Amino acid sequence: MALLPRRKKQRRFRAPRFVGLFRRNSEAVYFAGNQVKLYPTGGEFLFALLDACRNASSSICLEFYTICNDAIGREFAEALCEAASRGVEVSLLYDYFGSIETPSLFFRHMAKSGVRCLAFNPPTFKRGLHWLDKRDHRKIAVIDGTVAFTGGLNIADVYAGFGDCRYKWRDMGMRIEGLAVAELLRLFRESWEGEEGPPLDPARYSPQLVDAGEDRVLIVNGRPHHTRSFIRSAFRLAIAGATDSVRILNPYFIPGPRVIRSLLRAAAQGVRVQLVLPAISDVPLVRLVSRGLYAPLLKGGVELYEREGTILHAKVMLIDDDWAVIGSANLDSRSFHRNYEVNVIVDSAEFGRQVGAMFTADLARSRRVTMDDIARRGLLERFLEKLLTPFSRFL
C-alpha cells in the first residue's frame, strides 16, 4: 500500500488568532503588498544603498547609529553632497554616541554642501545624566519616499568587507518596496522631529505607494521607557509561533530569563532551536556573560554554535523557514529597554528560503558547542561570568 504524503504542519504564525495576538502585544504594524530583497552580505547592502543615493531624484532620509570617516563613509558623504547639489533634499540623522569617533568636520563638510546633518541626543545637562544611556540604534534609509533599506549594519568599512577576518564583519540587510515603506518613513520623521531637525518638505515625503509584490511585512518599533518591551515581546511571540524550527544569528546575546524560557519551551515542544553566536566579539565582556547562559540552553535541547572567522554582527531570526525577523535589535537588555530600534518581519516562503540558505552557509562556518566545552572552562572564566552577570543589563 502506498504511503500517504506527510501533512505539513499548520503554521501557527499564519493563524489569524496568532497574528492578532502578535500585533496587540508588540504593536507591530502590518502591510501586505511588498517586495523584499535580501542582501546576504554587508557589502551588497551598502553598495545597493549607495547606488540608490546616487540615483535619488527627490529625497534621501538616512538614520544610522554609526557613520565613520573611512573609505565607505567618505563615499556616502560624496554621494549625499552630490545629491544635494542637484536639488535632492538630503536629511541625515546619526547617533551622537555611536558616531563619537567621527570628527565633527566630517559632518560640517556635508552641511556646507547642503546635506542636513542632525545628531541624535547630543550631550546636554538640561536632560540630566541619563542622556548618555539613550541611543538611536536604528538603521533606516528611505529613498524618494518609495524604497527603504534596513538591517543591522552601520556605514563603515568593517561592514562592507567580504571574506573572513576580524576586520571584515559579518552582516546583512534588506530592501523594501511597497506599502511598508510608509511606516519606516514615519519612524524616521518621528526621530527627526523629536530632535528638532529643520522641517521636511511635505511634497517630497507623500508618495503614492502601491502594491509592489506578495510579501507580507510587519514592523516593530522599539523605544526606551515603554512599560514593556515591544521588541522583546515580538521575539518571544515569534519563538512561540514556531512549529518546526527557530534559527537565530545574533552578536550580543544576554536576553534575560523570559527569552531563555521561550527558547527552552520551544525546544521542549519538539521545535529544533539553533542559535549561532560569535566566536570572536568586539565586546568581549558580552561574550563572556553570554557563555554563562550556555549550560541551561544545552541541557534544554537548544543547539548552540559559535561562528568563526570574523566578528558576527548580523541580527536574524527565522521561524519555520517562512517568517524572517531582521533588524537593528540585539537579544539584550539595551535593545529591549534603552535603545530606539526597528525590526522588520517578512512573511514569505521565498524570502524565508533565501534567509535559510544564508543561515546554512553561516552554520557551515560555525563550531558546535557541547557540554564538554562548558566543563572545560577555567576557574577565572567562571568567576568573571558570575561577577559580571548582575551588570549584564548595562553591557
Catalytic residues: 137, 139, 144, 313, 315, 320
Check: CB of residue 348 under 8 Å from CB of residue 216. yes
Strand ranges for 195-244 from DSSP E: 215-222
If one counts every other C-beta atom within 10 angstroms of the C-beta of residue 25, the result is 14
Quote the distance between the C-alpha of residue 351 and its chain's center.
16
Angle of the 71-85 helix axis to the 104-112 helix axis, nearest 10? 20
Backbone region of residue 256 per phi and psi (left: phi > 0; alpha: psi in -120 to 50; beta: other values)? left
* DSSP designation for 228: S
Residue carrying the nine cell digits 553591557: 395
Q: Quick one: which of 323, 189, 131, 145 has its CA closest to 244?
A: 323
User: How far is 92 from 174, CA to CA, in rounded Å?
Assistant: 19
User: How far is 191 from 121, CA to CA, in rounded Å?
Assistant: 10
At position 229, the amino acid (one-letter code) is S
Check: CB of residue 113 under 8 Å from CB of residue 84. yes
Let me know how long the chain is: 395
* Cα→Cα distances 367→6, 135, 211, 284, Å: 33, 33, 42, 18
Q: Quick one: which of 195, 22, 302 has its CA closest to 290?
A: 302
Residue carrying the nine cell digits 529625497: 59
